[in-house]
A and B are shown apart, each in its own frame.
Chain A
């Protein structure tokens, strides 16, 4: 594989997203959301303090609101990543743009990896910037700073990259709309399975818990989302939770008492690479 050609394609991908104003639309929407979040949090905090609610409780409330916002943002981010990555190869095949390019001494693997690299840079940068901006605005209006905002942002970006990898790989074989839709559905299922699995743990439903555990291995996006929560969960909540059974707490989809295990993070990296390789293999076999 030629690194130069991969970079040519990655650069082309970044330029495409910038030129087609997709990036600016996304950034505009995030700035609007962050402004809204800032305003809402400010109102919440002001009203709570006016009612004489204890500062610790206010902070805990804000922290949970922030996790909820992060959850919604992660969903929007996953959708954006899926619909950005699904057509990256699929629509080039549909329109025929790819034929002229692949008649050149460009390997299909170089095209796929270049596309993946360009999209990953854009999506990761967007996730980290928007995520940290939201955290900063909330900190400004409420004084609440989550314990590990960078860890949270990194997991958010990782989750988005996992989603875009899946969409890109599916798009090497499926039409772009189908690849995007399948990715979003799988992502939703993954999250749902994660929630269900945690409830299963709380109620000792071993078989269901094991099935959910497997699903988390097959599709690690929900596991990565737990990393986001962990980065945002304030120590106060962890302390409060420490008194209760961890089993019961596990059922809460917006709670994470510990970071995703290192083995899981390592597996997620391998998963992304495996999906990317599968996408390359599928694309190499495709008749154009």
Chain B
């Protein structure tokens, strides 16, 4: 088991008739890592998840989950899954739904009761455990679904939009739950278009658009190195001595150093002052995931429609 990636796909391709849902998906999720799978609606995220679970079959390409082929029964024993639609039998109580899933997952009878109680407490449904789920709100159903996905400490947890029906408090709870699952050794594939969520939780991400991975890697790498923008007047002509901090450019009134080690920003300011410049503002920052995402997705749109690149809204954002 050790050494195998939790998920590995090679050129996974899925077409429904003429519609290409997923084109050449290559991702690799390591054991114990939280991996963000991002994309706009209809990008192919859910299709990818269904392929991983064997709910649909790939048109081409291959992959492994927990070291086994896609859809493998033994692998499914160690996967927890929250579907996008999170619907459960309305005529069962929350506890009975979990009991059903514990039995289907093959959790031994002796462990089942304790495991169900643990999961109920984890998702905050202990008080409603004996109510039928038909009367549950969407948020409660989603909590139940997350609980079902975490039964038996699976090696891989696949969560398809786990916070779509939750309020901010619920979202915060789910973040804590995901971190706890990671600490218990689970790898988590987090399918989402809520970027803040992903930015806070994930070690690495892949961004898909129109069935293709348009960017993938560690968040720090994807978002690029830190940048600092300074509004400076009375700049000396010779800026050569600033070269040790990073590449220096002038954008209108702003002096931009990119990339820069954020720890060295005070030293940069001190150097500028020493050179006789007057520093009015310092704006450290890096691209947010949202900027990256919108840039990639909208580039994809203009590329696909052949529209003029100048209409890309993010060109005027900064």
Seen from chain A, the residues whose Cβ lies within 8 Å of a Cβ on chain B are 5, 8, 12, 15-16, 19-20, 95-97, 99-107, 287-288
**Cβ contact of B145, chosen from A8, A19, A100, A102, cutoff 8 A:** A100
Q: Bound state CA distance, A91 and B125, in angstroms?
A: 27
How far, in whole Å, are A107 and B91 apart by their CA atoms in the complex? Answer: 23
Most B CB contacts (10 A, CB to CB) among A8, A95, A104, A107 go to: A104
B100 near A103: Cβ-Cβ < 8 Å: no
| Contact call A105/B56, Cβ cutoff below 8 A | no
A19 contacts which chain B residues (CB < 8 A)? Answer: 91-92
- B residues contacting A by CB (< 8 A) are 16, 50, 53, 55-57, 73-74, 76-77, 79, 81-89, 91-92, 100-101, 103-106, 145, 148, 158
| Nearest chain B residue, comparing its CB with the CB of A97 | B87
A105 touches B81 (CB 8 A): no
Bound-state CA distance A261–B57 (Å) is 45
Q: Whole-angstrom distance from the CB of A63 to the nearest CB of chain B? A: 42
* Docked CA distance A28–B229 (Å): 79
Q: How far is the CA of A95 from the CA of B86 in the complex (A)?
A: 9
Q: How far is the CA of A96 from the CA of B106 in the complex (A)?
A: 22
A104 CB contact (under 8 Å) in B50, B89, B105, B158: B105
Q: Please name all residues of chain A whose beta carbon is closer than 8 Å to the beta carbon of B91 when the two chains form the complex.
A: 15-16, 19-20
Known contacts A100-B148, A287-B57, A288-B55: does B106 contact A105 (CB below 8 Å)? yes
Whether the pair A104, B104 counts as a contact (CB closer than 8 A) is: yes
The interface centre, meaning the residue of B81, B84, B148 with most chain A CB atoms within 10 A of its CB, is B81
Contact between chains at B50 and A288 (CB < 8 Å): yes
**Distance of A25 Cα from B121 Cα, bound (Å):** 37
Contact B105 A105 (CB under 8 A): yes
In the complex where A100-B148, A288-B50, A288-B55 touch, is A106 in contact with B104 (Cβ < 8 A)? yes
Known: A103-B53, A105-B104. 15 other contacts (CB 8 A): A12-B89, A16-B89, A19-B91, A96-B84, A96-B85, A96-B87, A97-B87, A99-B50, A99-B83, A100-B148, A101-B104, A103-B55, A103-B76, A103-B81, A104-B105
**Is the pair A8, B87 in contact by a Cβ cutoff of 8 Å?**
no
Chain B residues near A15: list those with CB within 8 A. 91-92
A95 to B85, CA, bound (A): 8
How far is it, in angstroms, between the C-alpha of A5 and the C-alpha of B104 when the chains are bound?
7
Q: Which residues on the B side are within 8 Å of A107 (C-beta)? A: 73
In the assembled complex, which residues on chain A have CB atoms less than 8 Å from the CB atom of B16?
Answer: 287
- Assembly CA distance A8 to B81 (angstroms): 20
- The reply to whether A99 and B55 contact each other, CB–CB distance below 8 Å, is yes
Smallest distance from the beta carbon of B17 to chain A beta carbons, Å? 11
6 A-B residue contacts at CB 8 Å?
A: A97-B87, A102-B53, A103-B79, A104-B105, A105-B104, A287-B55
Asked if residues A287 and B105 are in contact (CB atoms below 8 Å), the reply is: no
> Which B-chain residue is minimally distant from A17 (CB atoms)?
B91
Which residues of chain B come closer than 8 Å to A16, judged between CB atoms?
A: 89, 91
Does the CB pair B73–A100 fall under 8 Å?
no
Give A8 to B222 CA distance when docked, in angstroms: 47
Q: By the criterion CB–CB under 8 Å, are B55 and A100 in contact?
A: no
Q: A99–B86 Cα gap in the complex (Å)?
A: 9
Known: A100-B81, A103-B55, A105-B76. A95 touches B87 (CB 8 A): yes
